[in-house]
A and B are shown apart, each in its own frame.
Chain A
Amino acid sequence: MAGEPPRTTVDHGGTSPAGRTGANGVTQDGPMGNGNSAAPTAPSLDQALAGLDALDKVGRPAQGRLSRRLWRATWPKLIALALILLIWQLAVWAHWQPHILQTPSAVARQLWDLLGTSLFWQACWATAQQAAFGYVLVVIVGGIVGTSVARVPVLRAAIGSLITGMQTMPSVLWYPLGYMVFGQNWKAIVLMMVLGAAPAVANGFISGIDQVPPGLLRAGRILGARGVALERHVVLPAAFPSVLGGLKQGWAFAWHALMAGEFLIAINPLSLGGRTVNALTYGDYAVVVAMMIVIVFIGIMVDVAFTRVDTSVRRRYGLLDASAP
């Protein structure tokens, strides 16, 4: 909770006519007063404004202690996790697919061993590099296409609906194209990522720029922002929440494409996907499940990070209900 800022009253050296509200002395003790004053003299403009500002102040409702909030957010997740583990364990006890399905504890042990190997961390590093490179490219391509389409009417008429259409296409569909162009190569995966995820980023830019309030544009022009300065100081910041939404969605699609690519192409046995496919080939099912858990965990973590940034941006922009968590 932000504290109340210090409030200063200013003396304008007597030259300003401030402070003559109700100088005629005809006043009532009322809404303009500082609360407790029942004095028959009217407050100065300074006092009256300060009193009004104090009355207008809306504080965010108290959120309670951090530990309490953490607990409230955590226990439903713990129960969900426990239920999943229980169903899993029950399936094992029921001898459902006995040769394949391992107990949760066996997988946990496997996961623990895995975390101790340098090979695992190499796989994480390889995948992270590929993810970062591909995602940066996704953002660059999506950003350029999005801003151009939003700004050039001909371009919008030409490919606007194509972008929306591409967004609904599963990135796996780009695999044949990537394979034909680049062969069994990491570049094919990058192509899948860009074609699969850039449309989502582009759409974030397009809707963000489309929805810049005209009043803010007008204000920006009046304040002297023209051309590039208008884009830099008004259009892009105003579009930012929507752009961020596009970036988040773009990440999800890029991650899907990356995983699909690593599973399908498997040229890099050191990547997370490659390791999983290898484990599957050797019938090492505990490792497969352990890797799945790792991949899901990474996905969730990045999503949580995006959501946190999104929430803090919305809060700063005043787009969030004050009582929201």
Chain B
Amino acid sequence: MTSLAPSPTLRPDGRAPSVTLTGVSKRHGDAATGVVALSDISLGVEPGEFVCLVGASGCGKTTLLNLIAGLDRPTVGSVEVTTVGEPVDGEATRSGVRLTGGTGTAMLFQDSALFPWLTVAANVELPLRLRGVGRTERRAVADDLLERVHLGGFGPKRPHELSGGMRQRAALARALAQDAGLLLMDEPFGALDAITRDLLHDELESLWIDRGFTVLFVTHNVREAARLGDRIVLLTSRPGRVAATFPVDLARPRRIDSPEIATLAATVTDQLRSEVGRHGR
């Protein structure tokens, strides 16, 4: 594997948490008839690290993200999301967006999951509203965030009036409004065309560098993982296990069509295929 330059120094700003999974297993249903979705997964994510999880169908990726988000509990093992520093109210990030003491985990879904009854701006404001942030401040933060994802002026629109790529950017703005240190992404660009996806890779990378959160990014797309991640974690299917880990020592900004990424993607794809192939026998 070619290595052009070391990956950029991580700049955890004290709010980006580390994620530690220790021997995590998850079974849906009871012991006799249940389905084991995840089996003995141990995985550590550094504060501010961008980790891509790659796996075929049935690797339990949604279950894994639900566990980390705290929506579900593991059957065995432990999930820890640890923030070293405490969030500081009113602290300004480099993008000029004021922090409002948000904590927890943000998540992005394949189908933006924007609420159709709210305007785009109201969607972005919702997490702030749920935290009790006042109307004026909410509006200002939402405006800033929409500008940041290049959707300035689209605030009064309804989600269904936007294209798929614009919806994902709006969802990204809403996730950023949570001001969470951890961003979980569940195949967020899987339903987009290649041109849009490419641009959103740039957008996401720039936001990540800008705000320094920790990212766990699930995808079927190996090239996408190589384009974005500091590290690629390959998961097996049925049950989901960690099969291999690939560091991505490529300088940023990267291009998805660069030969280094193609080489790395080929290596990962080979291993992915051999993992998938075991199920055919």
Task: State the A residues within 8 Å of B (CB).
Answer: 2, 5-10, 12, 15-18, 20-24, 31-32, 45-46, 48-50, 52-53, 56-57, 215-216, 218-225, 229, 233-234, 237-238, 240, 316-319
Contacts and interface: CB of A to CB of B under 8 A. Distances in A.
Interface centre among B109, B117, B160 (most CB of A within 10 A): B117
A50 B149 CA distance: 11
A318 B160 contact: yes
Nearest to A213: B113
Interface of B: 66, 69, 71, 94-95, 104-107, 109, 111, 113, 115-118, 126-127, 129-131, 147-148, 150, 152-154, 156-163, 165-166, 169, 174, 178, 195-196, 198-199, 202-203, 205-206, 209-210, 252-253, 255
Contact of B203 (A15, A45, A229, A318): A45
A222 B115 contact: no
B116 A224 contact: no
B130 A225 contact: yes
Contacts of B126: 223, 225, 233
A242 to B, nearest CB: 13
Contacts of A12: 95, 148, 206, 210
Shortest Cβ-Cβ A-B pairs, 10 listed: A318-B160, A56-B163, A219-B113, A5-B153, A8-B152, A237-B117, A224-B130, A6-B153, A223-B127, A222-B107
A215 B113 contact: yes
Contacts of B116: 316-319
B206 A318 contact: no
B241 to A, nearest CB: 24
A128 to B, nearest CB: 31
Contacts of B255: 22, 24
Contact of A17 (B127, B158, B205): B205
A222 B158 contact: no
Interface centre among A224, A225, A317, A319 (most CB of B within 10 A): A224
A177 to B, nearest CB: 39
B174 A10 contact: no
A8 B153 contact: yes
A222 B150 contact: no
A170 B161 CA distance: 43
Given A222-B69, A316-B158, A238 B117 contact: yes
Nearest to B130: A224
A15 B165 contact: no
A37 to B, nearest CB: 16
A223 B174 contact: yes
8 contacts: A6-B152, A9-B150, A17-B252, A45-B199, A49-B199, A218-B71, A218-B109, A317-B116
B253 A23 contact: yes
A7 B153 CA distance: 6
A10 B106 contact: no
Contacts of B195: 31-32, 52
Nearest to B147: A10
B130 to A, nearest CB: 4
A126 to B, nearest CB: 38
A57 B165 CA distance: 11
Contacts of A225: 126, 130
Nearest to A32: B195
Contacts of B127: 223-224
A294 B21 CA distance: 71
B210 A53 contact: no
Given A216-B113, A233-B126, A56 B166 contact: yes
A10 B115 CA distance: 26
B94 A222 contact: no
A5 B109 contact: no
A145 B127 CA distance: 31
B111 A18 contact: no
A6 B160 CA distance: 18
Contact of A15 (B66, B210, B252): B210
